């Protein structure tokens, strides 16, 4: 016998919309609450307007959290081929790059949003926008959803898909943590992820606007944890760029624990120290009339050179003919090992995601159901899971939303 489950989904983002469509296709009665005027606002802003919707190389190694192995089952349920088929059922075609990153074929995030919006409109999902959920209560096996305007009871299942606090200007609230806590769950402290970093030194502000390639090594408590090659961008507040975003989640977690965090930049990463030292020595011989600043400006952006040389206490006006081998070694060392102390992140407002959240130890990864309260489910970023850059956050949102949608629709089947 089949009972029709009545499901409330709180949050009309990636995970909530996925769960709603899957649950309704499986025959459930679904109400989706979203406090923005439209669903899916973050999708529009994602991937610089292109929406890096998923990645063909999805594995557990791309995720952080107290227990990243939590993602293993959800990811195994949504391999790329199944996701592609699901998207095709919405009329959404994808294109994947060689490195595994996938985007809508149109390269426009709005086509992703439209595909989900039209599918929801064509379904019997009741989409309630412009409505802020303020509380979720539970009594005698049924849930009541309280909003700013009213309360609606009689839900056999509730999915908390409210996302994180990252990008509050797009509707992120962190309300889901309060709902989960109120219903008996543990929340791990949250911290901004995929975010720019603030540096203790005032130097970066003077170099604002300089973008270049570097190997960035992150040190926590003086221990080198990871090195990433990519672009960096000096800014008025510190440092940004893709390489910085890539190390930022680990840096932010350490900062949230009051641990000492620093980065070292290896500039001119295409050359090792031997090659760089050879290039410098040759420059000195070929153009003895140059100052060190002038000679280095053929290799590095001019704006950074005085600051770089200050760290190794050599004057920019030093004629290169006066450089002895020891000084050349110091210049090489400065270029290959430029250290900055990290003081903070640029905050949730600028973060693409958040670490921390609802403890995964209290959620069944095979259903996304709470192990504390029957009928309560979680999906997406509200959980203590955060992915690397590259479509991994959306993929976990789709996968966990899909599992929750299926499980909620089918949980009373006999």
Ligand X SMILES: Cc1cc2nc3c(=O)[nH]c(=O)nc-3n(C[C@H](O)[C@H](O)[C@H](O)COP(=O)(O)OP(=O)(O)OC[C@H]3O[C@@H](n4cnc5c(N)ncnc54)[C@H](O)[C@@H]3O)c2cc1C
| Residue written as token pair 């959803």 | 145
The residue (of 18 and 304) whose beta carbon lies closer to ligand X is: 18
Strand partners of residue 211 = 233
CB of residue 353 to ligand X, shortest distance in Å? 5
CB of residue 17 to ligand X, shortest distance in Å? 8
| Residue written as token pair 């959404």 | 92
Instruction: Give the dihedral of Cα atoms 396, 400, 402, 403; nearest 10 deg.
Output: 140
Question: Using CA of residue 100, residue 101, residue 104, residue 106, what is the dihedral sign?
Answer: negative
CB of residue 282 to ligand X, shortest distance in Å? 43
| Residue written as token pair 């899916």 | 40
* Both structure tokens of 361: 């130890």
* Contact criterion met (CB below 8 Å) for 236 and 198: no
DSSP 300: S
* Contact criterion met (CB below 8 Å) for 334 and 311: yes
The residue (of 239 and 353) whose beta carbon lies closer to ligand X is: 353
CB of residue 212 to ligand X, shortest distance in Å? 23
Instruction: Give the dihedral of Cα atoms 368, 114, 390, 199; nearest 10 deg.
Output: -100
CB of residue 205 to ligand X, shortest distance in Å? 24
The residue (of 92 and 397) whose beta carbon lies closer to ligand X is: 397
Q: Which residue is nearest to ligand X (CB)?
A: 13
* Contact criterion met (CB below 8 Å) for 411 and 404: no
* Contact criterion met (CB below 8 Å) for 393 and 51: no
CB of residue 246 to ligand X, shortest distance in Å? 13
CB of residue 385 to ligand X, shortest distance in Å? 10
The residue (of 266 and 352) whose beta carbon lies closer to ligand X is: 352
Distance separating alpha carbons of residues 346 and 331, to the nearest angstrom: 31
The residue (of 39 and 295) whose beta carbon lies closer to ligand X is: 39
Distance separating alpha carbons of residues 332 and 214, to the nearest angstrom: 14
Using CB under 6 A as the criterion, which residues of the chain lie in contact with ligand X when the complex forms? Answer: 10-16, 33-36, 41-42, 45-47, 51-52, 132-133, 161-163, 166-167, 171-173, 175, 352-353, 380-382, 391-394, 397
The residue (of 161 and 363) whose beta carbon lies closer to ligand X is: 161
CB of residue 202 to ligand X, shortest distance in Å? 28
The residue (of 43 and 323) whose beta carbon lies closer to ligand X is: 43
The residue (of 119 and 335) whose beta carbon lies closer to ligand X is: 119
Distance separating alpha carbons of residues 115 and 308, to the nearest angstrom: 50
Distance separating alpha carbons of residues 393 and 52, to the nearest angstrom: 9
CB of residue 195 to ligand X, shortest distance in Å? 10
DSSP 4: P
The residue (of 173 and 297) whose beta carbon lies closer to ligand X is: 173
Q: Are β-strands 211-220 and 223-234 bridged in parallel, bridged antiparallel, or unpaired?
A: antiparallel
The residue (of 246 and 381) whose beta carbon lies closer to ligand X is: 381
- Residue 17: how many other CB atoms lie within 10 Å: 30
* Both structure tokens of 7: 């499901």
CB of residue 5 to ligand X, shortest distance in Å? 20
Q: Are β-strands 376-378 and 157-160 bridged in parallel, bridged antiparallel, or unpaired?
A: parallel
* Contact criterion met (CB below 8 Å) for 401 and 380: yes
Q: In sequence order, which residues have a C-beta less than 8 Å from that of residue 258 and are 6 or more positions away?
A: none
The residue (of 238 and 390) whose beta carbon lies closer to ligand X is: 390
Distance separating alpha carbons of residues 134 and 123, to the nearest angstrom: 26
CB of residue 376 to ligand X, shortest distance in Å? 16
């Amino acid at each position: 016998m089949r009972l029709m489950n009545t499901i409330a989904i709180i949050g009309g983002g990636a995970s909530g919309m996925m769960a709603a469509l899957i649950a309704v296709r499986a025959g459930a009665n679904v109400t989706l609450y979203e406090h923005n005027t439209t669903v899916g606002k973050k999708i529009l802003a994602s991937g610089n307007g292109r929406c890096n919707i998923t990645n063909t190389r999805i594995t557990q190694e791309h995720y952080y959290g107290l227990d990243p192995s939590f993602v293993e089952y959800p990811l195994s349920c949504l391999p790329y081929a199944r996701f592609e088929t699901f998207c095709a059922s919405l009329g959404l075609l994808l294109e994947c790059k060689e490195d595994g990153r996938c985007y809508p074929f149109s390269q426009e995030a709005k086509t992703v949003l439209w595909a989900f919006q039209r599918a929801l409109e064509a379904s019997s999902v009741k989409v309630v926008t412009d409505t802020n959920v303020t509380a979720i209560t539970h009594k005698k096996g049924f849930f009541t959803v309280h909003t700013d305007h009213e309360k609606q009871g009689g839900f056999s299942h509730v999915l908390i898909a409210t996302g994180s606090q990252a990008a509050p200007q797009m509707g992120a609230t962190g309300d889901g943590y309060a709902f989960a806590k109120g219903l008996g769950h543990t929340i791990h402290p949250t911290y901004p992820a995929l975010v720019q970093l603030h540096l203790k030194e005032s130097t970066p502000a003077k170099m604002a606007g300089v973008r270049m390639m570097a190997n960035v090594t992150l040190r926590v408590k003086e221990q080198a944890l990871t090195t990433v090659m990519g672009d960096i961008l000096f800014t008025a507040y510190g440092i940004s760029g893709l390489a910085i975003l890539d190390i930022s989640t680990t840096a932010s977690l350490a900062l949230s624990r009051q641990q000492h965090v620093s980065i070292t930049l290896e500039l001119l990463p295409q050359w090792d120290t031997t090659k760089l030292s050879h290039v410098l020595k040759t420059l000195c011989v070929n153009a003895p009339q140059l100052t060190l600043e002038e000679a280095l400006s053929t290799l590095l952006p001019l704006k950074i050179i005085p600051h770089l040389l200050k760290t190794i206490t050599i004057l920019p006006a030093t004629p290169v003919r006066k450089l002895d081998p020891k000084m050349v070694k110091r210049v090489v060392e400065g270029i290959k090992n430029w250290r900055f102390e990290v003081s903070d992140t640029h905050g949730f407002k600028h973060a693409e995601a958040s670490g921390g959240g609802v403890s995964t130890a209290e959620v069944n990864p095979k259903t996304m159901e709470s192990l504390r309260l029957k009928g309560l489910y979680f999906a997406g970023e509200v959980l203590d899971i955060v992915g690397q850059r590259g479509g991994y956050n959306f993929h976990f949102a789709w996968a966990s939303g899909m599992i929750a949608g299926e499980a909620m629709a089918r949980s009373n089947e006999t």
